[in-house]
Amino acid sequence: MKEKEDIGKLIAAARKKKKLTQQELAKLLMVSDKAISNWETGKNYPDLTYIKDISKYLDIDLINLIVDKKQKDYNKIIKIMFYILMIILTLLIAFLLTYFINNYNKFKFYTISLDNKKYVINDSYLMIDNNELIFSLNDIEGDHDYKVTLYYLNGSKKYIIATKNNYKSIKIEENLNNLEYFNKDILNNLDKLYLEIEHYSENGEVIDNINLIVKEKSSNNKLYYINNNKLKTNMVSDRIITLLNNNGYVRSDNNTYVKNKDNLTLAYNVVDKIYSYTLEENEMKYNAVYQIDKDILHYEVEYHSVVVEGFTYQNEKVSCLIGKCNNNKELIESFFNEYNLLK
């Protein structure tokens, strides 16, 4: 609207300079008085057919004036768009810089093993993710009741991180802003972590001090963020699949591996982490389903498709569901003899 008014004012000023009335200009252009009034008040533009004659009678270059006006308006729009683009670009750079500072190389995933062939420990890791630290050290394979001390050795000074009698596993979860078990010095010198392993053998008490091998498996030292849960899961799954293949299991679908052994059928689902066991013997059928993450084993005994006995085994406790569970000990032992081959 402002552009029409500006052109209208220009026509009115040029007409008055030529000392013409609206009626006289209308007669020269062969239009109505109202058309002249509408042009000068900015209600509408003159038609293109009148631009040349208006320029001639009023001695103004109306075409170039309109073009210049539009060019100025266009340049103004371009300038505004440039400023908006620069603001967006500045905000984007600030966001990326903040993201980079807060996330670059902040995630690290380490595998942990023992620098000693006498003891075997699997699926152990250290994960550092922004403000979170998770240290997970799994079972030591063997029949002994181990006492384990995790410590950091700084010169001759021994800093004890955790101690466990009847060792099963050590799991430590910490906030990096409020470290209790680890500290910055330890995290910068992971090659100085040790395990002291104590147990009794036929020859008496045995004490071994073993250096932990902490290897960096991955970190987000690029401009992308790693899905650490997926990484950890894939590593564990790859090891399990190798064990399954080495123990005669055959892949039956995307997630399940099956092994048939005489009248015994074994199956392992690597995604759901469920191990199943079916034994058919003397008209009896023994079914077991083990939920590995929850450490729950549910067992049922069938006779001619009728459940005659069932129980649940969890954390070394047995709850009978049907019958007296007279043979639960033998069933549990036979089940875990198979399962332990895959641990």
CA distance 336 to 244: 15
Residues in the chain where the model's pLDDT stays below 50: 222-228, 231-232, 235
CA distance 43 to 267: 85
Amino acid, single-letter form, for residue 12? A
287: number of Cβ within 10 Å? 17
pLDDT of amino acid 9: 83
- Closest to 124 measured CA to CA, from 159, 133, 132, 134: 134
Query: Which uninterrupted H or E stretch holds 163?
Result: strand 157-164
Q: Is 142 helix (H, G, I), strand (E, B) or coil?
A: coil
Query: Which uninterrupted H or E stretch holds 87?
Result: helix 62-103
Q: What is the mean pLDDT of the chain?
A: 80
CA distance 153 to 266: 45
CATH class, range 1-103: mainly alpha
pLDDT tens digits for 111-148? 888 888 788 787 788 988 778 898 988 877 766 788 89
How do the domains of the chain map onto residue ranges? Answer: 1-103, 107-224, 244-342
* C-alpha dihedral (155, 157, 159, 163), degrees to nearest 10: 110
Contact 108, 128 (CB under 8 A): yes
- Closest to 210 measured CA to CA, from 116, 124, 120, 132: 116
Q: How would you classify the pairing of strands 296-303 and 284-291?
A: antiparallel
CA distance 220 to 224: 6
Q: Of 1.10.10, 1.10.3470, 2.60.40, 2.40.50, which CATH number belongs to 107-224?
A: 2.60.40
Is 101 buried (19+), middle (13-18) or exposed (0-12) by CB count in 10 A? exposed
